[in-house]
Amino acid sequence: MHPITTVHYLALSAALLLIGTVGVLTRRNIVIILMSIELILNAVNINLVAFSHAIGEVHGQIFAIFVIVDAVAEAAVGLGILIALFRNKETVLADEIDLLKW
C-alpha cells in the first residue's frame, strides 16, 4: 500500500481545477457554472491544506477557511445576481445573457 503523499493531493487538486475550469467554460447553466467555481475554489483549498500538512504549518489551513468563507459569500451573491437576472431575462443560460458586448 502506498501512502498518500502530497503529490496525490496535488493531483486531486489539479484534477478538480481542471474539471472546474472546463465546467465554467463549457456549461451553459449558470447554476452549474457557480458549482464549477466552487470546484475550483475547493481545488485551491486542497492545495493549501496539502502544502500546509507537508510543511507542518497551519497558515495554509487557516487560509483555506478564509477561502471557504469567501466561497460562501460568493455563492450567496452569485445566486442573488442569478435570481435578479432570471427575473429580467427569464433565463439562466449564460450564452443567452450576452449584454456585455459593444
Partner 1 sequence: MNFLDQIWLIPLFPLFGAALMLLLGKKLDPQPVSEVAIAPGVEPIYEHGHGHAPHHGDHGDSHGDAHGHGHAHGKLRSLVNIICPGMVLLSFIFSAGAVWELAQQTVRIKEVVQFTWLAGMPFHMANGHMANFSVDWGFLLDPLSSVMILVITGIGFLIHVYSTGYMAHDNGYYRFFGYLNLFVFFMLMLVLANNYALLFVGWEGVGLCSYLLIGFYFQKKSAGDAGKKAFVVNRVGDAGFVMGMLLMLSVLGTVRFIDVRRLLEQFPVETGGFGVLSIMALCLFFGATGKSAQFPLYVWLPDAMEGPTPVSALIHAATMVTAGVYMVARSAGLFQLTPATCTVVASVGAFTAILAATIALVQNDIKRVLAYSTVSQLGYMFLALGVGAYWVAIFHLFTHAFFKALLFLDSGSVIHAMSGEQDMRRMGGLKDKIPITYWTMFIGSVAISGIPGLAGFFSKDEILWQAYSSKSGSQLLWFVGLATAGLTAFYMWRLMNLTFYGKSRVSAEAAAHIHESPASMTVPLMLLAVGSLFGGWLGVPKLWTFFGESWRGFEHWLEPVFTSAAIEAVKEGEHSASIEAVLMVLSISVAIIGIVVARYFYHHKPEIPDSIEKAVKPLYGLLYHKWYVDEIYEFLFVDGLCKGGGLLLGSFDRNVVDGGVNGAGLLTRLAGIVSMWWDRWIVDGAVRFTAFFVKMLSYPVCILQSGRVQTYAFFVVAGVVVMFAYYAAR
Kindly identify the residues of this chain, within the stretch 58-97, that bind partner 1 according to CB under 8 A.
Answer: 94-95, 97
Q: How many angstroms separate the CA atoms of 52 and 6, rounded?
A: 10
Nearer to partner 1, 34 or 46 (CB): 34
Kindly identify the residues of this chain, within the stretch 17-56, that bind partner 1 according to CB under 8 A.
Answer: 21, 24-26, 33
Residues of the chain by 3-state class (helix, strand, coil), percent to 5? 80, 0, 20
19 neighbors 56 (Cβ within 8 angstroms): no
- Residue 17 C-beta: closest distance to partner 1, Å: 11
- Contacts with partner 1, residue ranges (CB under 8 A): 21, 24-26, 33, 94-95, 97-102
